[in-house]
Amino acid sequence: MVKEVPIHTPYITLGQMLKLADVVSSGVEAKMYLQESEVLVNGVSDNRRGRKLYPGDEVETGGATYRICSSTI
């Protein structure tokens, strides 16, 4: 099942997305998580906390898939 992660900006960083999706609770935890866990961005392994994610991008980690989507207010 794909979980939608709505963003209100043009992009979000991988570290911010992990916090927004409640995978981690802080930036330090995100950095450690990315060093210790496998994270796939659009099917490619990526551990850069500053990796920019745009609507339509998919992140797979911890057995879950997250899709970035644009949110309108």
pLDDT digits (tens, 9 = 90+) for 26-63: 999 999 999 999 999 999 999 999 999 999 999 999 99
The predicted model scores a pTM of 0.91
pLDDT on residue 64: 96
Domains and CATH numbers, the chain: 2-70 (3.10.290.10)
**In terms of DSSP bridges, do strands 58-61 and 40-41 run parallel, antiparallel, or are they unpaired?**
antiparallel
Residue in this structure with the two tokens 């916090």, named with its chain if needed: 19
User: What's the order of all strands across the beta sheet hosting 58-61?
Assistant: 2-7, 64-70, 58-61, 40-41, 44-45
Q: How far is CA 70 from the centre of its chain?
A: 14
